[in-house]
Structure 1
Amino acid sequence: MVRGTPTVLPYEYFNPAEDAEALKDAMKGFGTDEDVIISIIGRRTNRQRQQIAEEYKSSYGDDLIDRLKSEVRGDFENVLMALMTPTKNYMATEVREAIQGLGTDEDALIEILAGCCNEEMEEIAEAYQNLYDTSLEDAVASDTSGDFRNLLVALVQGSRKEGHFVDEDAARADAITLYEAGEGSWGTDESDFIKIMCRSSYPHLNEVQRQYKEMTGNSLKKAVEKEFSGHIQKGLCAVLACAKNEQKYYAERIYKSMSGFGTREKPLIRMIVSRSEIDLGDVKQEFMKKYEKSLEEAVENDTSGDFRRMLLVLL
């Protein structure tokens, strides 16, 4: 789904048989021609990659993903697997990994689910059910708790209103509701925040933020930070950030994955791969605006080898 400026577009001269043969030759004999792998897989859409994999199996009786895994290692292997997996399955497995094992990766859940449109959420939920024989809602609910669980369950319903029409009176009514549910009363009515933020269209939610500021002199984000704490606070702030400027939100998240000590390759791969066919071109612009350097430069300085080369091709 294209919501902005993608960096990976359908390859104009696409021929799955030729690509399959080139990949076969690149992995034949002693050594691997990584240049060929990067130039083909990095410059085809996910749909085209699936066609190459089908052609590879029918022509050579071998699974392309298994063959690639036998040839490469480390972060380069991880980004290749992300690219070769159908997008909805990849995102479903990322949710699965965030809630399985020792502890829950709440930051990953927020990043994946907060910015999904209804269609994307529906696809991830369908893939999750098919892959793990359980619903996405049940999986998320069983591994989280309290208000954070309620927020995630509301998000995975995929019931956000869509469209660009904004009713200013309705937005002001929601701004008043949120004020009375938070700063304007003793205690916080978390359910009002979750309902409005998970069901409102982004244009409506932006108008709510504008009206809230006009009415109280305080930003809705500041109110959330004051009234909430922990993961529910992070989740609500992520929704507000996506409503305001989704591409800026992901630019900041990508920057965070590369800042500090060491690179967090998993979220870096996930965001670059998942946004490459949606709006990565716009994310790059927001990155440049905020950090005064290109995303390519940041990736080049923070990664290495074939992994770096693949990410740069995707960018």
Structure 2
Amino acid sequence: MGEQVLAVIGGSGLYEIEGLGGAGWQEVTTPWGAPSDAILTGELGGLRLAFLPRHGRGHVHAPTDIPYRANIDALKQLGATHVLSVSACGSFREEMGPGHFVIPDQFIDRTVNREKSFFSGGCVAHVSMAHPTCRALGAAAAAAARAAGVTVHEGGTYLAMEGPQFSSLAESRMYRDHWGCDVVGMTNMPEAKLAREAELHYATVAMVTDYDSWHPDHGEVDVTEIIRTLTANSANAREMIARMPGELTSDCAQSCDRALDNAVLTAPERRDPDLVARLETVAGRVLTPR
């Protein structure tokens, strides 16, 4: 593997990272439209870092409206090899309390109104999502978070819901009791799928803000309490990111950066040239002869 470049997708409070040298905001254009915002780039502990506010500065994009394809394309244009997704979540487990960080290794995708692939008619590809996160990157994030003093839970299933409303009590109970989910959020799908198609190492840090609505002692989700917990989590998340240069490793046994090997099924002579051109950043390795 060549130079490692860490991209972080997260909330507006996370880009105020102490020690980020040469920091500056870059506008990036993509064939999939504009990303959520300009991207903050710099160097941290010898590691190149790019930060993208998922909802845009000022929180202008709802979960369904986030330009997921443009975000992943833009980060790869800037050289990203690893994407660490930092996002708020609700917890279905008593032991995963508010303020804790969870590193999920599985997803259930319940979103229905989002573009979920870079590939379509004219150039068809199927990548494996059996193991949707990079174990090595997840382990690095867990180590960095623990070093920052955070309680971390490694492994678990993230239920991605459409939103923007929170779960009903019946949904919350179903996700917890019948589907075996551990946390619930609105933004990690199709983000994880697109990162896999773009051959990026991807992992999620889900920051617990509440117990969703299943918990008999906590009742319905209180947005005021969520914001209070989010604010408290931001400092821990920034400290975790600051420690990532010392934890990031190239030891990926999953070959995340080779996810498109044998994935493209459309014969070369039948591929739509316009779509192939749009796919240059994310899939040029396998589509464009070098």
Q: Aligning the two structures, in what range does the TM-score lie when normalised by the shorter sequence? A: under 0.3
**Bigger relative CO (Cα 8 Å, ≥ 6 apart):** 2
Higher normalized helix content (fraction of residues): 1
Greater C-alpha Rg: 1
TM-score, normalized by length of structure 1? 0.23
TM-score, normalized by length of structure 2? 0.25
